[in-house]
Amino acid sequence: MRSWSFAKGHGTQNDFVLLVDPDGSLDLGADEVRWLCDRRAGVGGDGVLRAVRAAAVDDWQGDGALWFMDYRNADGSVAEMCGNGVRVFAHHLLAEGLLSGRRFDIATRAGVRPVEVLDGARYRVEMGPVRVEPGAVTVTAATGEGERSWPATAVDVGNPHAVVLLGPADPQLASLELHVAPRWRPADVFPEGVNVEFVRSVGERHLQMRVHERGSGETRSCGTGTVAAVAASARSVGAAVGTWRVDVPGGTVEVELAEGTSYLTGPAEVVAHGQVLLPTG
């Protein structure tokens, strides 16, 4: 039986199992990820964040001394990026003495993400450019009154999103049944799957959001999803830059759109440390 050291953390209740594996020696396959994220049989989480030195990552072309955030969805699939995860990842490495200072870079599959440490265990992450994609997309989701379809905006934040901007006549966010995965068409527009955000405006530059994340189901928060939601909402009102508040079931984050880039600010917390015994077979 294998015994691994782990920590458990969350950013606005988007929760993760954290593993520190500098040389990438842990045999972390899809089966191990699914078991770790199982909320009954394992530790429980929306995903796994493994800290690996970038030099040990295949195909990494940048600074090998950086810490690389190897992020896996709860179903074991590999993901490019996780905005809440970067904050929790940085917070954990700082607490363990593996990072220092108020500014540093984290390597991800979507590129390098600069991080700034703020007061009160809050972190500001530069998320890079956001691309609102052309083309028509339709999303269908379950509600308490049956299925409904909406036009959606495709947004790339280093990973794919489909953002539905709910209008006054649409169902309330609470009536959406996001334990059922939404569908989209054209079916081939997101060949690797997509995160689907449902967004309602509740004030000037103030949004509420729920999300179904590919590979994880409905989560209490999605960092890249909040950036996508702001980008789609900003375009709908003709705004280009500025700071928005986004309320998710797990808390509140701030998203700033700037010229050529974006920023996500929010909290991070580590709530447990321990040893986990992985089952054999």
Q: What is the pLDDT of residue 169?
A: 86
DSSP strand pairing (206-213 vs 242-248): parallel
143 is in an annotated binding site: no
Q: How far is residue 123's CA from residue 250's CA, in Å, rounded to a whole number?
A: 16
Q: How far is residue 178's CA from residue 259's CA, in Å, rounded to a whole number?
A: 33
Identify the band that residue 1 occupies on the pLDDT scale cut at 50, 70 and 90: confident
Q: What is the value of pTM for the model shown?
A: 0.96
pLDDT tens for each residue of 142-172:
999 899 999 999 999 999 999 999 998 898 9
213 is in an annotated binding site: yes
Q: How far is residue 240's CA from residue 127's CA, in Å, rounded to a whole number?
A: 16
Name the average pLDDT for the chain.
96
159 is in an annotated binding site: yes
12 is in an annotated binding site: no
pLDDT tens for each residue of 83-118:
999 999 999 999 999 999 999 999 999 999 999 999
pLDDT tens for each residue of 167-193:
988 989 999 999 999 999 999 999 999
Instruction: Give the amino acid at 145.
Output: E
Q: Which domains does the chain show, CATH number per domain? A: 2-126+267-278 (3.10.310.10), 131-259 (3.10.310.10)
Position 37 pLDDT exceeds 90: yes
53 is in an annotated binding site: no
Q: What is the pLDDT of residue 280?
A: 83
Q: Which of 222, 246, 257, 270 is catalytic?
A: 222
Position 281 pLDDT exceeds 70: no
Q: Which of 20, 81, 82, 88 is catalytic?
A: 82
pLDDT tens for each residue of 226-256:
999 999 999 999 988 999 999 999 999 999 9
Q: How far is residue 232's CA from residue 215's CA, in Å, rounded to a whole number?
A: 23
37 a catalytic residue:
no
